[in-house]
Amino acid sequence: MTLGQVHSQFVHTRRVRRLGQHLAALMPDNATVLDIGCGDGQLARRISELRPGLTVRGIDVLVRQGTAIPVDEFDGENIPLADGAIDVAMLVDVLHHAEDPLALLREAARVARTAVAIKDHLREGLAANATLRFMDWVGNGRFGVRLPYRYWTREEWREAFAETGLVVEHWNEKLALYAPPASLLFDRSLHFVARLRKA
């Protein structure tokens, strides 16, 4: 079994389940949700299963075959929607892949009427950068996803939110994405989920 197969079978499945719970709890009732950089769409589908009133669709730079939700292609910078066109813009492990993360975050805030939901990484702690690079490569390298390995510290996230006019309403670093003993290395303080509103 290859490393990619191990990741798909054991890590990805748990990640979808755990992140689905965290993100579903942040969604307003009967909201329209745009999953920006949705990948295979499994996480978005899980969220809609947990919250049946939601309407979820995705956009991505690389549209995969057989996605779990409807997915449209976009250029990675300009979201083809009007201002406030959807209730929630969701970015799950996407901004660290973007050519211009601030520009994409600003676009997410522009099209979101109610909130921006983010799951991403924190470059905090011993060997954080090396650990995040390894996780990124295993999870995304085989799909041709751009890997600039650009992860932000907590302070850099604060600055990005301030620059894009977003205010944190909810912040959670206790995600338990990995089962023990892998959690000791791959969870730590490397991940967060946040819900933000416009200032």
How many C-beta atoms surround the C-beta of residue 79 within 10 A? 20
CA distance 152 to 197: 20
pLDDT of residue 167: 98
Query: Would you give per-residue pLDDT tens digits along the chain (199 residues)?
Result: 544 444 455 578 999 999 999 999 999 999 999 999 999 999 999 999 999 999 999 999 999 999 999 999 999 999 999 999 999 999 999 999 999 999 999 999 999 999 999 999 999 999 999 999 999 999 888 888 889 999 999 999 999 999 999 999 999 999 999 888 888 788 788 999 999 999 8
Q: Show the domains of the chain with their CATH numbers.
A: 3-198 (3.40.50.150)
Among 119, 58, 115, 60, which residue's Cα sits nearest to residue 87? Answer: 115
pTM of structure: 0.92
Distance in Å from the first CA to the final CA of the chain: 48
pLDDT of residue 142: 84
- Quote the strand ranges of the chain, DSSP E: 32-36, 55-60, 71-73, 86-92, 112-121, 166-172, 191-198
Phi-psi region of 66 (alpha: psi -120 to 50; beta: other; left: phi over 0): left
pLDDT of residue 36: 98
Q: Tell me the chain's radius of gyration from C-alpha atoms.
A: 16
pLDDT of residue 10: 55
pLDDT of residue 6: 45
pLDDT of residue 186: 85
pLDDT of residue 159: 98
